Amino acid sequence: MAQISIIVICLFSGISNCSAGLIQDQSTGETAAGIEVVELAEVVGESRIDAGKESNAVDLDLHESEPFFKNDAVIFGILMVMLGLIFWTSSLEIRAVKLFYKVIPMLLVCYFLPSLLTFFNLVDHHDSKLYYVATRFLLPATLVLLTLSIDLKEIYALGPKALIMFLTGTVGVVLGGPLAVLAVAWISPEIVGVDGPAAVWRGLSTVAGSWIGGGANQAAMQVVFMTPEADAGAEVSGKLEDLYSVMVAVDVIVAEVWMFFLLMGVGFSKDIDRIFKADASSIERLKTKMESFSERVTRIPTTTDIMVIGAIGFGATAFAHFTGAYIAESVQSTITSAQVMITGPDGNQILAENPYGFLKDLGLASSFFWLIVLATAIGIGLSFTPFRNYEGAGASKLGTVFIFILVAVIGMGMDIRALADHPGFFLIGGIWMAFHVGLMFFVGWLIRAPYFFLAVGSKANIGGAASAPVVAAAFHPALAPVGVLLAVLGYALGTYGAMLCAWMMQTVTPMAN
């Protein structure tokens, strides 16, 4: 593990420092092609820049002074020190420490501590490229390494409850949005406002996209519901930009608060299963089988083993990036080529309905969508080859290291100060999430589903590919592939589910007089 840590630190620091120019060029190119979908923290960063434009609608500029640390290499080093201390203390045989980590899972601490860097303005995560590196380089490699030794037969044997809980989470988000809008409109109508070109429900549609699928679906909702009309004017455009900035904060903070309680529940999962009268034997069987396979092929890793594991993870990542960008560009070209202008009833030229527009709604024009799908598919494919034996040399361990780096970077992006500035929007998000959580627990109790299915089914919706495997791995590293597979399903359903939710929120929003 010492060799792995050295390699990770050198690799990550080098990539982060040299990626700034690359990211700028790539973002510009892909945006021009219409295929770049920005993940959560990147959206926050861009929205903060846009929010700097003149507008009196909503101001989310919480940073009045320059952050203390600006160098990504320094910030990454601090995050690694935090992770090292957390892992070291969690291994101590001290009763008080063991009790602490029993009540508050180690994974939750890995989320919370980095958020203090933002809270005390030591770092500004919007200016950092660490999230881009973590999601574009480490996340796909993680998906490959975690699925390298997957046992699809045993996952299938988990039964339908995992899928039922995932779909319950989706329904909870779709119905929870309009119910939250109704509840807050009854309490304080001025928070919800009225329908119009810059209505609150338009911003909430992006939260729905993120909470059902992920960043790709969130960006799709921004395009569908928050793109101003050509004659809307600068004021409407500014209001939409500022509203989007606030909704990103609502998305991140409310989701992370739920993550806090979700991870606390991991330590009490057996108690919850007993209350639900749930049978977790299939989960235990999968854990046991994966552990026995790992023990059977375990060996002391050599430098060659580590280099081969790195080649598998990052080679697959490179292939997924290259192929995914090509597929996304091809899909976008197909959509663009089918777009034609027709003469409207008033004699003006208007865009005709695109027969291939549904491809974009599904997220198939997103390079990030294909990156996640291809990386997962490559890992599953390699699990049928002798490469799966590299699990014994630490493939999943390296994948776990990458996951915790991603966790720390995501945690750094949680800025709890936004709560004080826009409590009304957070009230909507809180009621919305409460309905999702309540429905998950009710259905879980009804079908006697283990808490594992509840937790992973929820985060496959709310957190997507970045969080679902993390939550699954909190139960046991062998279960991470379950989260990966459900998260990929979330991307497929996210856009349509979010559009349905948005239409219902529009319906319950009061009309302007």
Residue-level pLDDT at 42: 39
**Mean pLDDT value of segment 92-112:** 82
The residue ranking higher by pLDDT, 417 or 317, is 317
Say how many C-beta atoms besides its own lie within 10 A of residue 1's C-beta.
11
Please give the residue that has the higher pLDDT: either 221 or 385. Answer: 385
Question: In which band, very low, low, confident or very high, does the pLDDT at 216 lie, cut at 50, 70 and 90?
Answer: low
Identify whether the C-beta of residue 276 lies closer than 8 Å to the C-beta of residue 449. yes
Which residues sit opposite 349 in a β-bridge? Answer: 343
pLDDT at 310: 94
pLDDT tens per residue across span 385-419: 999 889 888 888 898 888 789 878 877 876 667 66
Q: Minimum mean pLDDT among 24-33, 230-239, 429-438: which range?
A: 24-33
Q: What is the mean pLDDT of residues 61-81?
A: 83
Residue 328, pLDDT > 50, answer yes
pLDDT band for position 362 (cuts 50, 70, 90): low
Higher pLDDT, 5 or 455: 455
- CA dist 363 and 345 (Å) reads 32
In terms of Cα–Cα distance, which of 470, 443, 471 is closest to 455? 471
Measured CA to CA, the distance from residue 240 to residue 251 in angstroms comes to: 16
- The closest alpha carbon to 460, from 468, 450, 451, 452, belongs to 468
Mean pLDDT of the chain: 78
> Is residue 313 pLDDT above 70, yes or no?
yes
Residue 442 has pLDDT above 50, yes or no: yes
Report how far apart, in Å, the C-alpha atoms of 481 and of each of 127, 151, 400 are: 32, 9, 12
Average pLDDT over residues 425-449: 94
Is 510:189 a contact under the CB 8 Å cutoff?
Answer: yes
- Over residues 67-95, the mean pLDDT reads 92
pLDDT band for position 31 (cuts 50, 70, 90): very low
Q: Is the pLDDT of residue 35 over 50?
A: no
pLDDT for residue 28: 36
HEC states along 142-154?
HHHHHHCCCCHHH
Confidence of residue 455 (pLDDT cuts 50, 70, 90): very high
Residue 238 is predicted with a pLDDT of 72
Token pair of 108 as six digits:
């939750």
Stretch 287-302: mean pLDDT, rounded?
Answer: 81
More confident residue, 167 or 352: 167
Alpha-carbon distance 412 to 112, whole Å?
8
- C-beta separation of 239 from 60 below 8 A: no
Query: Given this model, what pLDDT does residue 195 score?
Result: 66
Whole-number pLDDT of residue 268: 86
Average pLDDT over residues 84-90: 93
Residue 321's pLDDT band (cuts 50, 70, 90)? very high
What's the rounded mean pLDDT across residues 96-102?
Answer: 85
pLDDT at 40 over 70: no
The pLDDT-based confidence of 444 (bands split at 50, 70, 90) is: very high
- Per-residue pLDDT band for 468 (boundaries 50, 70, 90) equals confident
- State the Cα–Cα distance between residues 124 and 141, nearest whole angstrom: 26
What's the pLDDT score for residue 18?
45
What local confidence, expressed as pLDDT, does residue 164 receive? Answer: 92
Res 252: pLDDT:
77
* CA-wise closest residue to 169 among 479, 505, 483, 508: 483
Mean pLDDT of 303-316: 94
- Report the SS3 class of residue 162: helix
How much of the chain is helix, strand and coil, in % rounded to 5?
Answer: 75, 0, 25
Where is pLDDT greater, at 158 or 45? 158
Per-residue confidence (pLDDT) for residue 466, from 0 to 100:
66
Name which residue leads in pLDDT, 30 or 409.
Answer: 409
**Structure confidence at residue 418 (pLDDT):** 66
pLDDT above 90 coverage of the chain, percent: 22
Statement: residue 36 has pLDDT above 50? no
CB 499 within 8 A of CB 221: yes
pLDDT digits (tens, 9 = 90+) for 248-282: 778 878 887 888 888 888 888 889 999 999 888 87
